[in-house]
Structure 1
Amino acid sequence: MVKTLLEVFNEVKYPVVGHGKRNVQVLKDTFDHLSGDIDSDIYGTGKVIEDFQAKIAAYLGKPSAVFFPSGTMAQQIALRQWCDEKGSRKVAYHPLCHLEIHEQDGLRELHHLEPVLLADKDRLITLEDVRQMDDDVACLLLELPQREIGGQLPAFEELEAIAAYCRDKGIKLHLDGARLYEILPYYGKSAAEVCSLFDSVYVSFYKGIGGIAGAILAGEEAFTKQSKIWKRRHGGDLISLYPYIINADQAFDERLSKMEHYYEAAVELAEMYNNCGGLTTRPVVPVSNMFHVHADMPKETFEKVLIDVYEETGIGLTGNVREAGQGSYYEVSLGDRYEGIPKDLLKQAFVRLQAKMNDK
């Protein structure tokens, strides 16, 4: 039986991307060192959730924060609140925003909001795009970095200009900061400095941080107080969320200081890709720990090449290749695994990759 790319990737000795396997051991490791007498949170209250919310609010430079089981829930609620406040149904965001392509029209079906798509699919939103919005847009969402186009980022000065324009026009600015931590080394800014430009902020605890699940929505106290009501309406107030919260807290403390290292690793790895004929990265020089790899060959052909390389070297570059026009691509997101890969073996894998691609 022929194995799939993912099956072969899961068997390699040295997978390149991510922090590690998402298995039950992650949760076991979280609780091994804790006392069993710690009280759980109950319907959004209690020390374990309130302390964590205060900790992340301080980190983001916001007065208040609320823990949500998912970013999908948190962001739909944030946009709904800003629309209700202004009395408008319009929100603006990128055509490849998570709310537009991954949430089954939740914003439209659950909240009856009207998305306004800014910019072309293959580029970032600019100040000029924002200036051309209708004045009745209640909120503009910016995703930093813009994942679906390789994790690109606007210049910080562009962000400041967009924020100033939105304030002047009475348009709320919301940050999809699922990968906020990863962009800070490139900007050379603190989380609070970036978040000061935004009226509300969402951050994730399972992407770059590597937690099991969970998100924070932060902003002014009146905003987060109302978000708790919407959280209950969405069914997000589980009787207890402590497994996610305690794991998120541990992952936050463990990995926050490593973000610059992950970023530097991405720059190093992207150079290896770009020195391999037939492959290019987007962006050419990464601005975070993530980027996309584009190949000028069809998905099925490229997968066969990768499988051969994995089986010969024990290096796994990705488990998921997607179609892109006549070619194909995949996403790279670096974490703890990269440091443990022997560099000579990694270089050998790229030599084999080049040879295999030349044969196709």
Structure 2
Amino acid sequence: MDLQASYQQTSRQLSGHGKRNVGVLKQALEAIDANQSSDHYGTGEVIERFEQKLSKDLGIEDAIFFPSGTMAQQIALRIWANETGNRSVAYHPLCHLEIHEQDGLKQLHHLEPILIGDDKRLMTLDEVKALPDVACLLIELPQRELGGYLPPFAELEAISRHCRERGIRLHLDGARLFETLPYYEKTAEEVCALFDSVYVSFYKGIGGIAGAILAGPKPFCAEARIWKRRYGGDLIGLYPYIIPADYYYELRKDRMGMYVEQAKDLAHRFNAIDGVWTTPEIPVTNMFHLHMNGDIETVSNRIERIQVETGIGITGYLIPHDGHCSTEISIGDAYGEIEPSWLDELFRIFHP
């Protein structure tokens, strides 16, 4: 057995909302009338009602449902580049567009990214002020690849003011937007008011099947709908994604504060173990990175043994570094289903 196999065979997991099997879709569809009409190439009540709901909740003029965030964000930056006549956009070195999308922004849209800041920390206001002329600045909240760090809200406000003074469009990679709200003690509308366009995911903290919302001013969204068609994003029916997105959005959007407190408790327990630590040390969202001293074989064997012995899944993968390994923990409904005595046993075994 390997690490991934041992994780898949556990009955409980620290991360997520439970195993992503077809039951996720089945649960969302249980209360749906079988005669309800589906959407049809981007139109129809099921998609339009959800788009209008998110537009209202985000406090933004218009919103469009996309099958993927990759599609939505590339299109957003292309629209702002076209509007401003500037082919340069700026974002953090660990931005999803830079490290996970096979240069899609460059190859499909011939845009030139400017990387701002250091890959070990968040970008700063001073670095934003030092930017050359760009069409758009993208900010990710939280910065996932760093462990879920968030800048102070006052700094976001200052960046927003600066961008508006310079005519730079500000785009929010808010894949985990709702996870940030407990830390900021703000509504989604208050956060989104700082940005010109916003992307939100429905399969991460919300736990749906797939899909995303791209929101912005009406002229922006009118253009985005054209680009969505060009990308092939107007499937004949998106309802298998929209209905679960709506269902799990309503189920979980108000649970984020609970998830954050549970993440803090769990990180505290890991940080009490010699050779184990988290970043951030005290999580600011429901996620953090977990680090363990040792090479990948040693750490994998340790985690695999604990998972087999306790039936609790810690992780199915590790990223090796110089002298230690890392993984990501993201708290959802699954953590609350673990009995406290089981967690006590997990940490009893975890201690060397």
Query: Quick one: which amino acid aligns to residue 108 of structure 1?
Result: K
Tell me how far apart the structure 2 counterparts of residues 17 and 186 of structure 1 sit (CA, whole Å).
20
Match of 1:241 in 2: 238
Q: Residue 64 of structure 2 contacts residue 214 of structure 2 at CA under 8 Å; is this kept in 1?
A: yes
Match of 1:286 in 2: 283
Pair 1:161-2:148 in alignment:
no
Q: Deviations over 1:159-216 (max 9, x none)?
A: 0010010000000000000000101011100000000000000000000000000000
Tell me how far apart the structure 2 counterparts of residues 121 and 43 of structure 1 sit (CA, whole Å).
40
Query: Quick one: which amino acid aligns to residue 220 of structure 1?
Result: P
Q: Deviations over 1:70-92 (max 9, x none)?
A: 00000000000000011011000
Q: Deviations over 1:256-283 (max 9, x none)?
A: 1111111110000000010011011000
Q: Deviations over 1:123-154 (max 9, x none)?
A: 001101101100x2000000000000101100
Q: Secondary structure at the match of 1:330?
A: strand
Query: Quick one: which amino acid aligns to residue 326 of structure 1?
Result: G
Q: CA deviation at 1:27?
A: 1.4
Q: Secondary structure at the match of 1:217?
A: strand
Q: CA deviation at 1:325?
A: 2.5
Tell me how far apart the structure 2 counterparts of residues 349 and 79 of structure 1 sit (CA, whole Å).
45
Match of 1:37 in 2: 35
Query: Quick one: which amino acid aligns to residue 307 of structure 2?
Result: Y
Match of 2:258 in 1: 261
Match of 1:150 in 2: 147
Match of 2:117 in 1: 119
Q: Deviations over 1:304-345 (max 9, x none)?
A: 001111122222211111112331100000100111111122
Tell me how far apart the structure 2 counterparts of residues 192 and 74 of structure 1 sit (CA, whole Å).
20
Question: Given the alignment, which residue of 88, 91, 103 partners 2:89?
Answer: 91
Structure 1: gaps (5+ residues): 356-360
Match of 1:6 in 2: 4
Query: Quick one: which amino acid aligns to residue 327 of structure 2?
Result: Y
Deviating runs (4+, > 6 A) in structure 1? none
Count of residues in correspondence between the two structures: 352
Match of 1:70 in 2: 68
Q: Residue 122 of structure 2 contacts residue 149 of structure 2 at CA under 8 Å; is this kept in 1?
A: yes
Tell me how far apart the structure 2 counterparts of residues 299 and 144 of structure 1 sit (CA, whole Å).
30
Question: Given the alignment, which residue of 305, 308, 311 partners 1:311?
Answer: 308
Q: Deviations over 1:20-74 (max 9, x none)?
A: 1111121122222211111111111111000000001111110100000000000
Aligned-residue CA RMSD in angstroms? 0.8
Moved more, 289-298 or 187-196: 289-298
Tell me how far apart the structure 2 counterparts of residues 34 and 199 of structure 1 sit (CA, whole Å).
35
Match of 2:26 in 1: 28
Match of 1:199 in 2: 196
Q: Residue 290 of structure 2 contacts residue 326 of structure 2 at CA under 8 Å; is this kept in 1?
A: yes
Match of 1:358 in 2: none
Q: CA deviation at 1:351?
A: 2.0
Tell me how far apart the structure 1 counterparts of residues 95 and 323 of structure 2 sit (CA, whole Å).
24
Q: CA deviation at 1:13?
A: 2.4
Q: Secondary structure at the match of 2:255?
A: helix
Q: Residue 12 of structure 2 contacts residue 18 of structure 2 at CA under 8 Å; is this kept in 1?
A: no
Tell me how far apart the structure 1 counterparts of residues 83 and 213 of structure 2 sit (CA, whole Å).
21
Q: Secondary structure at the match of 1:183?
A: helix
Pair 1:47-2:61 in alignment:
no
Question: Given the alignment, which residue of 164, 183, 186 partners 1:189?
Answer: 186
Q: CA deviation at 1:14?
A: 2.1
Tell me how far apart the structure 2 counterparts of residues 273 and 48 of structure 1 sit (CA, whole Å).
44
Tell me how far apart the structure 1 counterparts of residues 187 and 99 of structure 2 sit (CA, whole Å).
30
Q: CA deviation at 1:115?
A: 0.3
Q: Deviations over 1:204-251 (max 9, x none)?
A: 000000000000000110100100000011110111101100110000
Tell me how far apart the structure 2 counterparts of residues 63 and 35 of structure 1 sit (CA, whole Å).
30
Q: Percent identity, aligned pairs only?
A: 55
Match of 1:130 in 2: 128
Structure 2: gaps (5+ residues): none
Q: Secondary structure at the match of 2:126?
A: helix
Tell me how far apart the structure 1 counterparts of residues 84 and 272 of structure 2 sit (CA, whole Å).
51
